[in-house]
């Protein structure tokens, strides 16, 4: 099948197929005499795998690593689990940072409201200047 047909079957764009092939996630496609790429059902399965792995926020480098392990005959499940654990830890750190930022913003907003109630000027500047102190 052509790049367009393979892309449509896998639920990705032809541009993604070309990119992933260029980055080595797919083996180089066979070509017709006219130079068109020809993809197999196995290639489409790999394209679907890449799409699903990207949906889990894995990078192309991580996906390539997993595919290379599988192609070399190794079971990549341990590597996948480690990658997912790493991504979960990253998300947990981001959530903690966001919770801290929210507390800082709430404190700055509260300070601005209190300043306004006291009739003080330049509330916006004080919000920024006091952000590090909260």
Span 96-133, pLDDT tens digits: 999 999 998 898 888 878 877 887 765 556 656 666 65
Its pTM stands at 0.76
Span 47-92, pLDDT tens digits: 999 999 999 999 999 999 999 999 999 999 999 999 999 999 999 9
> What gap in Å lies between CA 95 and CA 108, rounded to an integer?
20
User: Do residues 54 and 21 lie in contact, with contact meaning Cβ atoms separated by under 8 Å?
Assistant: no
């Amino acid at each position: 099948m052509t790049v367009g047909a393979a892309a449509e079957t896998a639920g990705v764009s032809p541009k993604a197929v070309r990119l992933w092939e260029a980055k080595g996630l797919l083996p180089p496609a066979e070509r017709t005499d006219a130079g068109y790429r020809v993809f197999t059902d196995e290639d489409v399965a790999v394209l679907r795998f890449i799409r699903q792995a990207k949906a889990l926020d894995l990078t192309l480098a991580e996906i390539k690593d997993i595919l290379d392990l599988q192609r070399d005959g190794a079971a990549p499940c341990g590597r996948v689990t480690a990658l997912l654990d790493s991504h979960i830890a990253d998300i947990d750190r981001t959530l903690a940072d966001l919770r801290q930022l929210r507390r800082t913003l709430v404190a700055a907003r509260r300070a601005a409201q209190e300043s306004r109630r006291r009739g003080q000027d330049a509330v916006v500047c004080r919000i920024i200047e006091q952000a590090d102190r909260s």
